[in-house]
Amino acid sequence: MAKIKIAVAGCLGRMGQEISKQILQNKNLEFLGGFEHNKHKHINKPLNKVSDILSSKLVTANSTQLIKEANVIIDFTTPESTLDNLKIASANKTAVVIGTTGMTDMQKKKVKGYSKKIPILMSSNMSVGVNLLFNLVKQTASALKDTDYDIEIAETHHKHKKDAPSGTALSLGEYAAEGRKAKLNKSKVLDRTKKLTSRKKGDIGFSVTRGGEIAGEHIVSFIGVNDRIDLVHKANNRSIFVSGAIEAAKFISKKKQGLFNLKDIF
């Protein structure tokens, strides 16, 4: 059985490094290499000299060449970089796994457009546990009426994370809204400092904490007059996201085209 050839976008990022290491340890996968933006300080340096990735391959800015050679690209970068990589992948019929968060609705539409030509698996969170939480939130929101229970979503991540709320928190909000047959764009409340108004029925509130090196914590609270239900997921480290990304790469390598998410695997 031929090995699946995988290249990693943003290979020196936190997730990029962990994914690269896992690929190298998997006998069914071949690590083609990784690339970074052309202004990165470690371009053209061996990975094993600038990270703890045990590979002598050079960090390259030539994303086109790696994407052309790969069966799958794993991308945990930025929305702009991901779209650039998708354009190249589409031209070369290369499958893509996207873990990038912070995409706008317009950017997500562009991803969907590329999925008509190549297979793409995109998830705001690659953890199996979080994807289970998505379903639990939807079921709970459906069972508890907005007249009786308010929904609040709290998330905590490391101090380096730029987008807020997290993509996972917004996905949790989407599942909560779907459970109540509502639209998140109409019910989400991201900032309560601009208007001095009381909470409205059906609002889904978000709160954000950034600090330290926390991999990710999410709490969805259903708050009633007499009780409160909390659905919680805490990631102790990034390994759960890495495992999901690797499984996603194996899955998507067998597809011809289409847009998938982690639930399609499990």
Residues with a known catalytic role: 157, 161
Q: Which two tokens stand for residue 61?
A: 């800015």
Amino acid, single-letter form, for residue 183: K
Nearest to 59 by CA among 73, 39, 43: 43
